[in-house]
Structures are given as C-alpha cells and as structure tokens.
Amino acid sequence: MADLNTDVRYIKGIGEKKALALNKLGVFTLYDLISFFPRKYEDRSRFVPIALAADGESVCIRALVADTPRLTRVRRGLDLVRFRAVDDSGMVDITYFNQSYVKDNIQRGESYVFYGKMEVKGSKRAMTNPVYEKEDAEGGVTGRIVPVYRMTAGLNQKTLMQAVRRGLDLCGGELPEILPEPVRRRCQLASAHYAYENIHFPRDFEGLELARNRLIFEELFVLACALGKIRGERVREGGIPIPGRDPEEFWQSLPFSPTGAQRRAVRQALEDMSSGAVMNRLVQGDVGSGKTLVAAALIWAVWKQGLGSAMMAPTEILAEQHFETLSGFLAPFGIRVGKLTGSMGAKAKREVKAALKNGELDLLIGTHALFSEDVDYPRLGLVVTDEQHRFGVRQRSALIGKAGKPHVLVMSATPIPRTLALIIYGDLDVSIIDEMPPGRQKVDTFAVDESYRTRLNGFIRKLVTEGRQVFVVCPMVEENEDLPVALKSAEEHAKELAAVFPDLRVACVHGKMKPKDKDAVMAAFVRGEADILVSTTVIEVGVDVPNAALMIVENADRFGLSQLHQLRGRVGRGKHKSWCILVSDNDSEEAKARLSILCKTSDGFKISEEDLRLRGPGDFFGSRQHGLPATHLADLGGNAQVLQQAQQEATLLLREDPDLNAPENRALRDRVELLFRQNADSFN
Ligand code: ADP
Ligand code: MG
C-alpha cells in the first residue's frame, strides 16, 4: 500500500529514469511529489464559439473535425498536419508543425476540445499546435486551469501532472492536518486535503486562491513555530542575570547625549539581561545611527557586574575601528580593552590570551579568531557581533556555543523592512534604532551618465586638492558572465584613473586579493595614504574614513538600492560636506526610477521597502545569507500580513504547548522537525 513516504519510483508511469529526474527536482517521496507546487497556471477553462474568439486570444473550442488530416512534408525537418474543424458558429484551420503523429490520432467526424491561440485574418481563423483531447476526455489537459511545473530533462508537463494526480489519488486523503482546528477557524483556512488538491488542480480561481492562502499560511506558520521553538529552548536555557542597571552613569560620561532610540535599545537589552533568561537581541539601525554606543553601554553594564564581554567584527579593519571607538567610550571607567586578530604576531596573540585568562581584560575585540582559537573566557557575560549576516549562521552558533551561555547582542545595518525582520530574526528580539544622532549631514546624491565623466573627474581633482579622499566602487564582474554591456572591473578602472590622475595616489581592493592584503590596502587608505580607493563592494560594511567626502559608484544600476545606500553611508562621516555620485548608462525607465529613489531619500528603511517592492524578496537578499530556509509559496516580503498572523498564532500555540507534545500537535511537530532536518545549515 502506498503512503506519503512511498518512493515515487513505485507509482505507475514513473520508472527508474523518471524517478531520477524527479529526484533532481527534490522529489523523492509521494509527500514530496504532492508538495511540489506548480510554478504557474494556464487558464484553459474558457470555452468560446469559434466565430467569437478574438485575434490573439487563448481559448478552448469544442469542434468537429471536418476533413481527414493531411500530412505534408514541406522539406526535410518540416512536416505539417492540416485539417479543418467546425462548430455551430464557424470554422477554423488547424495546423501542427512537426507532429506527424497527430495525423493518426485525430479522426475526421469526431469531436475534440482544442486549446490554443486563435489567429484571425479577415474572415479566416486558424490555430497552430493547439493542445487537444477527445471531447469525452475533456478536463484532462483542456477545459480547466492547468498547472505548470518547474521542469528538468527527462520529464514533461504531462507526465508530472499525471504523477501528481496519482499521488493525490493514492494518499491525498492521508495528509495529516497540521494546523490546529482553532487556528484554521480563526484565520479561515481551507483543509489540508482541499488545499493540496486545489493547488494542483484548481476547480476555479476561487479554489486556487483558497488553496494558496492556506498553504502560504501553513508554510509561514511552520517556519514561525520552528523559530519560536529555537527561541523557547534558548530562553529556557537561562542566562547569567545582570541586575537592571540604570545606564545614566554611563550616559553622563559621554561628550554628547544618546538619542532616544539608543536609550530605548539599551533599556530593552538591560531588561532582557536582568530577566534571568539569556538575551538574544538584534539591534538594527541605519549606517551611522550609533549602534556601537548601544554595545558600549551594555558592555559597561556587564562590567559593572564583574563580567567580561567579547565583540566579533567581520574584518580586521572593523575590529581595529571598534577597538579604538570602544576604548574611547570605556576608558573613563577604567574598563580594560584588548584586541585579537588573525594578523597579529604569535607573541602578541599569546600575551592577549594570557591577559584574558588571568582576568586582566574586560573586553576582547576581534575577528572570528576570537573563537576559532584556544581562547579562554573565564567570565564571559556578553557577546556582541557586528554585521552578523556576514558571518553565516554556523559561525554565529559556534561562537555562542563555545562561550557557554553569554547574552548575545547582534548589530546590523542591513536595513531589512520591519515586517521581514520579524521572521528573519524570529529567534531574536529586535530593537530598531530609527533616529540619527543630531547634526548628521545629508550626503547629496546624484545619478549621472557617461557624458558627465569629464566633469566628474574634475570634481575628484577639486576634492583631492582640498585634502579629501574618494571612494570609487565597481560591481563585481564574474568571469563567465555574459553581459550586454562591458563592465569595467575594479582593477581596470583603477588603471584608468591612475592614467587620468598620474600625480594622485590610486589604490585598489578587489575580490581576488587575500583578506590580509585587502585589509592592508584598506588600512593605508584609512591612514590617508591614498587619495582614491577603487574597490568592489568589500568596503560596504562599516569602515570609518571621516576624511572621505565622495563616493562614486560605477554601473550603479547593477547594485541593489539597499546596497547603494550602505555604500553611500561610507561618506559623510566626518565634518566635511559629502557627495555620492551614481554613474550609470542604463537608460531604462526602471533603472532611472530606482536610482532616483536614492537621490530623493536618505532613509534606509524607506529605501529597503522600495527595493523590496521593485525587486521582490528573492533578489532583495541575493546570495546573502539570512539564515532562513527558502520558502516555496510564501513571499516573505509580500505576504507581510499573513506573516504577522502566522507569527502570532505560532506564539500563542507555543505558549500552551512549547514542545508540541500534545497529541493534536504531533503532526505539526513532525513537520517542524522535517523543516529542521531539511535545513540543518540554516538553523544552528
Ligand atoms: P553605526 O550604527 O553605523 O555603527 P556608529 O556606532 O559607528 O554607527 O556611530 C556613528 C558615529 O556617530 C560615531 O562617530 C559615533 O561616535 C557617533 N554617535 C553615536 N551616537 C551619537 C549621539 N547620540 N550623538 C552624537 N554622535 C553620536
Ligand atoms: Mg558600525
């Protein structure tokens, strides 16, 4: 007997070869098969009398074949089968190209349903290569909404459709209902059986809509339960309580006042840390919003409690900058700060490790060297990671795991729309810093095309003469990339600039360099030892060069808006008036509209929302790791409302049954566990 776990190779019509092709699509069991949802649908449900079909319209006609199909061989490789079909309203000439077998399958005097595009020329009507079936078999591939699946070699739509049909017939009825009854009622969701049936073979568009709603909800609900479970487990692990400290003493030590948003983030984190549970908090704020200060306040609070902190940065240069900034903030209290990076000499490393072990350091800042090496933290209370999406989720868990049960603060400038942050960081609490420190100057932004090149070079010259530095960013060029326009690599562009400005110091950082060499070039630029730095996006994350006043982005249309916004955040960090110039020769309306958004606003959230709207979430994240399994139906950006609902319901359910042990939640637990198994990499 077949059940949901039966291998697809045992269904009728699927042999060894087709089973292998299905495997390539990720389909192994009957459950996988019926969960392999269509990519889109073709509406073949509309029947029209021949004479009423408009030119270019795709329709079904019910017609009698009026003459014997004739096979003509026009030349080698071109066969035609032609015949005429009629209904009460008129007639149509039907032609099949290179499908000579049609001649034997279609009989004069019989009625068929044909689905295809009607071509009308004067009083003549014609269809080319229409899909057909006998009138009495109608409802197979015509007369209905037909699913269209993602394909691979060795399969075709019809085979896959029939296999899914068999799969549903065999075990559609066995599908466990994983959504609790009250949830289904509250959210008005169709049953599992109805949804799986109608997502493949919708009865009508209303049925399809009901099916989609249910399955999107289901997907997000399972995801939310999975993330909620992780959080539940972590919370129950318990953390070292850091009694609620009033941070006023720390704020008083600063040369400026914290913003309201910084105060709020610190208050939220202090509440977490004093609760007795372990903190997992994300501080998300636009570039320049002052996240480092939030970390400093917490490091201070932890230190007050006699505990140490560690801070992990994705690059050496960022570690260096954090070391300097934080040393400054923390020095008034005598908090001892150390640094550990991969490029340090063996002796220096040994000394830092020894100092840490002996309790002579209160804060250690570094790259992932912090945790990959034999570093001993005798009394670690807090781990801060900066720009953690750069690390990958596995590193993050290695870091937290190795250090016992410290509180965790994650800082990120990636401006993810609020609704998305909820699910992406579903296992983290989120503080959003939505306020800039006062006096932050706006970076004037312009989009220009090649015709401005001479003026642009003149502008570079002027700023460098005034003592400023310039960033130039080029898109990453993959070697095998076939592009309509030739893109300049960073290296090539640097050579050109060096030729234009023989007397200026032009440095270059690109993807093929070793991290150590990249860091060396960056560090030299920070020290002011180069005037122009040409690079790929390696400078995207928070490097601070207050003297840089101009950011030029070449082929700007090749970047995401949020990415451009991050790049722009590299300038305007000092006292100098700063500019961002987006160079692009792409004159499509869409490209222009996108770039103009950047010229108009400097609000990272607004930009990311626009970006999401224009590009969709798939592109929004690109290859960037966000630590979530891919969703099949749900669009993490577009289904914000469902997302929120699913999140809410998951929270409610987990509050009642944290481990999903209740008998009525077993099926749901199995699904959550399946998700964990399939995405072992995403969840730590
Ligand atoms: P990011 O959020 O991008 O990491 P930083 O923490 O690097 O931002 O802060 C950017 C700059 O703003 C730093 O020079 C920092 O000292 C300064 N800063 C932070 N908070 C304030 C504040 N409340 N008032 C004035 N300047 C601030
Ligand atoms: Mg920063």
Q: Which CATH superfamily is domain 260-433 in?
A: P-loop containing nucleotide triphosphate hydrolases (3.40.50.300)
Residue 273 confidence (pLDDT): 92
Average pLDDT rounded to a whole number, residues 333-344: 92
Q: What are phi and psi of 380, to 5 degrees?
A: -90, 120
Average pLDDT rounded to a whole number, residues 143-159: 89
Ligand nearest to the CA of 544: 1
Shortest-distance Cα residue to atom 23 of ligand 1 = 258
Residue 627 confidence (pLDDT): 46
Shortest-distance Cα residue to atom 21 of ligand 1 = 437
51-83 burial: b if 16+ Cβ within 10 Å, else e? eebeeeeebbbbbbbeeebeeeeeeeeebbbbb
Measured in Å, residue 140 CA sits from the centre of ligand 2 at 59
Shortest-distance Cα residue to atom 25 of ligand 1 = 437
Measured in Å, residue 322 CA sits from the centre of ligand 2 at 8
Question: How far from 538 is each of 69, 472, 473, 475, 571, CA to CA, in Å?
Answer: 65, 11, 9, 10, 15
Averaged pLDDT of the chain: 85
Residue 394 confidence (pLDDT): 45
628 or 216, which is more confident: 216
Lowest-confidence pick of 239-253, 436-450, 625-639, 659-673 = 625-639
> Which amino acid belongs to residue 435?
E
Measured in Å, residue 300 CA sits from the centre of ligand 1 at 17
Ligand nearest to the CA of 258: 1
290 touches ligand 1 (CB under 6 Å):
yes
The gap between the terminal CA atoms of the chain, to the nearest Å, is: 37
Shortest-distance Cα residue to atom 17 of ligand 1 = 290
pLDDT in tens, 271-314: 999 988 888 888 988 878 899 999 999 999 999 999 999 998 87
Ligand nearest to the CA of 570: 1
Shortest-distance Cα residue to atom 26 of ligand 1 = 437
288 touches ligand 1 (CB under 6 Å):
yes
User: What is the chain's percent helix, strand, coil content, to nearest 5?
Assistant: 45, 20, 40
Atom of ligand 1 nearest to the CA of 294: 6
- pLDDT band of 604, cuts 50, 70, 90: confident
* Highest-confidence segment of 202-211, 393-402, 620-629: 202-211
- Is the per-residue pLDDT at 625 higher than 50? no
Shortest-distance Cα residue to atom 19 of ligand 1 = 290
Residue 619 confidence (pLDDT): 41
Residue 226 confidence (pLDDT): 84
Measured in Å, residue 264 CA sits from the centre of ligand 1 at 15
> Which amino acid belongs to residue 297?
A
- pLDDT band of 479, cuts 50, 70, 90: low
265 touches ligand 1 (CB under 6 Å):
no
Measured in Å, residue 606 CA sits from the centre of ligand 1 at 21
Atom of ligand 1 nearest to the CA of 542: 3
Atom of ligand 1 nearest to the CA of 292: 6
Measured in Å, residue 287 CA sits from the centre of ligand 2 at 7
Measured in Å, residue 545 CA sits from the centre of ligand 1 at 13
Lowest-confidence pick of 203-207, 605-609, 623-627 = 623-627
Measured in Å, residue 139 CA sits from the centre of ligand 2 at 60
Residue 427 confidence (pLDDT): 57
How far apart (Å, rounded) are the C-alpha atoms in residues 608 and 616?
A: 11
Measured in Å, residue 642 CA sits from the centre of ligand 2 at 33
Measured in Å, residue 69 CA sits from the centre of ligand 1 at 79
- Is the per-residue pLDDT at 485 higher than 90? no
Residue 679 confidence (pLDDT): 66
pLDDT in tens, 126-149: 999 999 999 887 778 888 899 999
Ligand nearest to the CA of 440: 1
How far apart (Å, rounded) are the C-alpha atoms in residues 289 and 451?
A: 35
Shortest-distance Cα residue to atom 10 of ligand 1 = 288
Ligand nearest to the CA of 289: 1
3 or 266, which is more confident: 266
Using DSSP, state whether 311 is helix, strand or coil. Answer: strand
How far apart (Å, rounded) are the C-alpha atoms in residues 659 and 96?
A: 60
Span 46-143: which CATH code? 2.40.50.140
Residue 423 confidence (pLDDT): 61
Domain with CATH 2.40.50.140 in the chain: 46-143
Shortest-distance Cα residue to atom 13 of ligand 1 = 290
413 touches ligand 1 (CB under 6 Å):
yes
pLDDT in tens, 367-413: 877 776 578 888 889 999 886 554 444 455 555 555 567 898 988 87
10 touches ligand 1 (CB under 6 Å):
no
236 or 43, which is more confident: 43
How far apart (Å, rounded) are the C-alpha atoms in residues 377 and 364?
A: 10
Strand spans (E) along 377-505: 380-386, 407-412, 429-433, 444-448, 469-473
Residue 298 confidence (pLDDT): 97
Atom of ligand 1 nearest to the CA of 287: 3
Residue 483 confidence (pLDDT): 52
Evaluated on CA atoms 309, 310, 313, 319, the torsion sign reads positive
- For a pocket test of ligand 1, which of 250, 251, 289, 293 has the largest count of ligand atoms closer than 8 A to its C-beta? 293
322 touches ligand 1 (CB under 6 Å):
no
Shortest-distance Cα residue to atom 18 of ligand 1 = 290
**Are 475 and 467 in contact, with CB atoms under 8 Å apart?**
no
- Is the per-residue pLDDT at 263 higher than 60? yes
Q: Which CATH superfamily is domain 443-601 in?
A: P-loop containing nucleotide triphosphate hydrolases (3.40.50.300)
- Is the per-residue pLDDT at 539 higher than 90? no
Q: Which of 234, 623, 605, 612 is nearest to 412 (CA)?
A: 605
What are residue 146's DSSP bridge partners?
Answer: 42
Residue 558 confidence (pLDDT): 87
Shortest-distance Cα residue to atom 15 of ligand 1 = 290
Residue 372 confidence (pLDDT): 65
Residue 397 confidence (pLDDT): 53
Shortest-distance Cα residue to atom 24 of ligand 1 = 437
Domain with CATH 3.40.50.300 in the chain: 260-433, 443-601
State the angle between helix axes of 589-600 and 604-621 in degrees (0 to 180), rounded to the nearest 10: 140
Ligand nearest to the CA of 256: 1
Ligand nearest to the CA of 390: 2
Query: Over pLDDT 70: what percentage of the chain?
Result: 86
604 touches ligand 1 (CB under 6 Å):
no
Residue 390 confidence (pLDDT): 46
* Neighbouring C-alpha atoms within 13 Å toward the C-beta of 588: 7
Write down the pTM of the prediction: 0.62
> Which amino acid belongs to residue 643?
L
554-565 burial: b if 16+ Cβ within 10 Å, else e? bbbbbbbbbbbb
- Is the per-residue pLDDT at 239 higher than 80? no
Residue 393 confidence (pLDDT): 45
Average pLDDT rounded to a whole number, residues 8-12: 88
Residue 437 confidence (pLDDT): 86
Q: Which of 562, 569, 541, 553 is nearest to 614 (CA)?
A: 562
